[in-house]
Amino acid sequence: MTAATLVAGVDSSTQSTKVEVRDLVTGAVVASGSAPHPVVTPPCSEQDPRSWFAAFEAAWAQAGSPQVAAISVGGQQHGMVVLDADDQPVCRAKLWNDTESSDDAAWLIDQLGSPATWADAVGSVPVAAFTITKLSWLHRTHPDAWRRLARVVLPHDYLTHRLTGGFTTDRGDASGTGYWSPATESYRWDLLDLVDADVAWPEVVPEVLGSMDRAGLWNGAVVAPGSGDNMAAALGVGLGPGDAVMSFGTSGAVFATSSTPAADPSGAVAGFADATGRYLPLVCTSNATKVLDAVRRLLGVDHAEFDDLALAAEPGGPIVLPYFDGERTPYRPEATGMIDGMRTDVSRAQFARAAVDGVVCGLLDGLDALQAHAALDGRLVLVGGGAKSRAVQRVVAGLTAMDVVVSDAEQAVATGAAVQAAAVLEQCDHRAIQQRWGLGEGTVISGVDGGDVRLRYATLRDR
């Protein structure tokens, strides 16, 4: 195949960089590659951003270093990448799941007056995940590094910069910084001035591109604006009106598309923009598959055995509150996990089921919160590594009235980035690419009896 017939999507996550090369016409995957990132563990979760580009180069080589006509990068949201005047990292990048800036989040809310004022300003209430809180942390704790600050970009922006040499972002990822407003489509300089009013912020932050704009060229290929991982995933699964996505990665997320911006003063729903010109109200939890993996390791079983155990358990056993490494929604950054209802006769199967129930109930709480900001009368689409779990699939289906579908997209973020690359290359609507490639299909799932687990979970959560 020639470069004119290929496009590429990149997924730069907390754990790895993945590359997916697709045929422009049919959408068929013709090559792929993956390379790991350094392991991180909250509360301090940091990586050298240069390791991301090294992982991209390794993944690209694994895919055969193809010649493509267009490429786009989807990256983990929120992280803070600070560069000096030579475009070199001033410090290690703080990732979304780093919670060391939780005090700064509280301080920033106080400076503006209330959570509701922040929601009105930028659609979201700042938590430790947001870039603005991390900037406040750096200003407060590392004055020498702060004095060297020349650029602030997001993880996907950094990789796009390494491809093009320019400094750009997109509205989807910008909406997760805490200083760009989806409602007005503009930066809020007054909010950045809360961190440091002496910084010339318009010279520091990247230009926000439109959904059809080009960021530049790389080896002759058009580089699309890219976006945050959740925005790219929405493209990759062919998210339609009325549908919601429930994502089971290291963290969990529930999101849907909307024609109007959201502003939730409680902070549960983040009022993000999407990658197409619309909006993406989203609820994020810090603990998803990593909780299941931790319990699986304790039980000494592989993934298939864990699913067999969880599905064999009858409802009514113990329940897990899965705030293992602090929680983002509800905002409890110092929290740890809890187990309720333990008895001496508890079985391994009940313990496995308790972990699945806890993770799923946390995300279903998010789905409930989302109902106020999006009309959810379609399907609930499951994505992410944890969505491959038979236990997760069937427990979700048993606890919601929506039709539950497991997406056929193996790498939703990379696929969504490829969709954007194709749309920008052809200057056509993203939906046209999704339909041409046959995205949006999935496997319908039947549920298992959940008993009163949601009520018991809510009682434990509210203690």
The residues, any chain, with a CB within 8 Å of residue 28's CB and separated by 6 or more, are: 22
Q: Are 357 and 310 in contact (CB under 8 A)?
A: no
The residues, any chain, with a CB within 8 Å of residue 428's CB and separated by 6 or more, are: none
The secondary element (H helix, E strand) that includes residue 350 is helix 348-370
Hunting for tokens 């038979």 — which residue is that? 390
Helix (H, G, I), strand (E, B) or coil at 40: coil
Annotated catalytic residue within 98, 104, 229, 325: 229
The residues, any chain, with a CB within 8 Å of residue 39's CB and separated by 6 or more, are: 15
Known catalytic residue at 98: no
Distance (Å, whole) CA 235 – CA 222: 19
Distance (Å, whole) CA 316 – CA 313: 9
Helices 131-141, 102-112: crossing angle, 10 deg rounding: 100
324 phi/psi in degrees, rounded to 5: -60, -40
Distance (Å, whole) CA 181 – CA 170: 12
| Sign of the four-CA dihedral 7, 180, 372, 288 | positive
- Find how far residue 302's CA is from the centre of its chain: 26
Q: Are 251 and 241 in contact (CB under 8 A)?
A: no
166 phi/psi in degrees, rounded to 5: -95, 180
Catalytic residue numbers read 229
